[in-house]
């Protein structure tokens, strides 16, 4: 039996999609519904459903951020009101989208696509990462790149050159800015930072982590073949999400 999760902060849309799926795909078992991105991410990690229907705009974590953190084989269907990105981005069929308001024929086409065998893991991972990159708002090439990070500490305001940052890591309500000598906290979420940093220098390797390639010391795989990166000037290893492992294959 195929299992699914539905995540949307609008309960009536969750109920509507669940009802429509019951008609279009009777064999599908919805094992969990989530009202926000954090709940969705935790449920996907615990239950590993075959399919996750994710609203793009949710509190806590967006659907895009949840998708970036998926480690297992869960296939993602975005539920979105933003067709100007979705229609073009999903032509590769690595993931699918449902445009609000939901239409029965579009849902039927989505179900037919999901019933097909999943693509090979490597191809799926690369296509998903590229899709997510194109969907992230504010990543237009013309946008000026950050040169400094401003972080308050009491009455003192630190101005940190971005080339001194080892990595950024989301921590509850804050983002940790880690340098070789200090740790600073800012309120700008990882989701926004990803679109403001130079993509040739800063790679997002997890939904909660962006690393500076200039400080990359190496990588390591554990006995479960999970990938970790090591950063110069810091003893902590950082996990790499499945969606970003392909970035390191040419290194």
Per-10-residue mean pLDDT, the chain, length 251: 94 93 96 94 94 88 82 87 55 64 89 80 57 52 76 89 95 88 90 82 89 95 91 91 79 64
Say if CB 231 and CB 245 are below 8 A apart: no
pLDDT, position 158: 92
204 is in which domain, residue-wise? 148-248
Same domain flag for 45 and 81: yes
Q: Is residue 142 part of a domain?
A: no
Say if CB 176 and CB 210 are below 8 A apart: no
pLDDT, position 119: 64
Considering its fold, how many domains does the chain have in total? 2
pLDDT, position 135: 56
Same domain flag for 118 and 10: yes
DSSP structural state of residue 27:
T
**DSSP string across 70-100:** --SS-EEEEEES-HHHHHHHGGG-SSEEEES
Domain end, chosen from 100, 135, 170, is at 135
Same domain flag for 116 and 28: yes
Buried b (16+ CB within 10 A) or exposed e, 17-56: beebbeebbeebebebbbbbbebbbebbeebbbbbbbbbb
Which pTM value belongs to this model? Answer: 0.56
Same domain flag for 186 and 221: yes
DSSP structural state of residue 107:
H
Q: Is residue 74 part of a domain?
A: yes
């Amino acid at each position: 039996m195929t299992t699914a999760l539905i995540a949307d902060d609008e309960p009536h849309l969750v109920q509507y999609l669940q009802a429509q799926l019951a008609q279009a795909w009777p064999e599908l078992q919805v094992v969990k519904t989530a009202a926000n991105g954090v709940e969705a991410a935790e449920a996907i990690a615990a239950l590993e459903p075959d399919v996750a229907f994710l609203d793009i705009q949710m509190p806590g974590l967006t659907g895009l951020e949840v998708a970036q953190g998926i480690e297992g084989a869960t296939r993602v269907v975005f539920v979105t009101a933003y067709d100007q990105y979705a229609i073009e981005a999903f032509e590769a069929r690595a993931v699918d989208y449902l445009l609000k308001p939901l239409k029965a024929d579009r849902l039927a086409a989505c179900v037919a696509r999901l019933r097909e065998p999943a693509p090979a893991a490597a191809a799926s991972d690369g296509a998903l990462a590229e899709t997510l990159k194109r969907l992230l708002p504010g990543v237009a090439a013309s946008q000026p790149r950050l040169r400094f990070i401003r972080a308050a500490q009491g009455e003192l305001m630190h101005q940190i050159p971005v080339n001194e940052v080892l990595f950024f890591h989301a921590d509850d309500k804050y983002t940790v800015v880690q340098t070789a000598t200090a740790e600073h906290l800012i309120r700008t979420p990882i989701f926004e930072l990803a679109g403001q940093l130079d993509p040739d220098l800063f790679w997002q390797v997890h939904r909660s982590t962006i690393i500076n390639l200039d400080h990359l010391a190496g990588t390591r795989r554990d006995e479960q073949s999970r990938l970790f990166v090591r950063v110069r000037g810091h003893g902590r290893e950082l996990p790499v999400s499945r969606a970003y492992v392909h970035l390191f294959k040419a290194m």
